[in-house]
Amino acid sequence: MKPESSIAQEAIFEIIENQMRDNKPPITKETYERLIAEGHSKEETMKLIGCALSSEIFDIMKNSEPFDEERYSRNLNALPELPWDED
């Protein structure tokens, strides 16, 4: 049986891959390409984008609000700085 953290990471990576495949939102694929061009590995890039996505999911659940593409885009644009490293 896989650890819960592995299952969660696989789900997050699947969401990212779906976003890039569907080009929705386009910023996900743009961020992936930017981070790869900056020298990050594929795994590190996926983990960084996963951090931005996880932060968005957390905000959605915590505040019972819809997906905020603007906030998600801001977090992606800030990578490799992580959303919770702002303070």
**pLDDT 10s digits, 30-82:** 999 999 999 999 999 999 999 999 999 999 999 999 999 999 999 999 999 99
In a domain, 85, yes or no: no
Number of domains the chain is built from: 1
In a domain, 30, yes or no: yes
Count of CB atoms within 10 A of residue 77's CB? 13
Domain holding 44, by residue range, is 4-79
In angstroms, rounded to a whole number, what is the distance separating the alpha carbons of residues 29 and 26? Answer: 6
The pTM assigned to this predicted structure is 0.90
In a domain, 48, yes or no: yes
Residue 78 burial (10 A CB sphere; 0-12, 13-18, 19+): middle
In a domain, 84, yes or no: no
In a domain, 86, yes or no: no
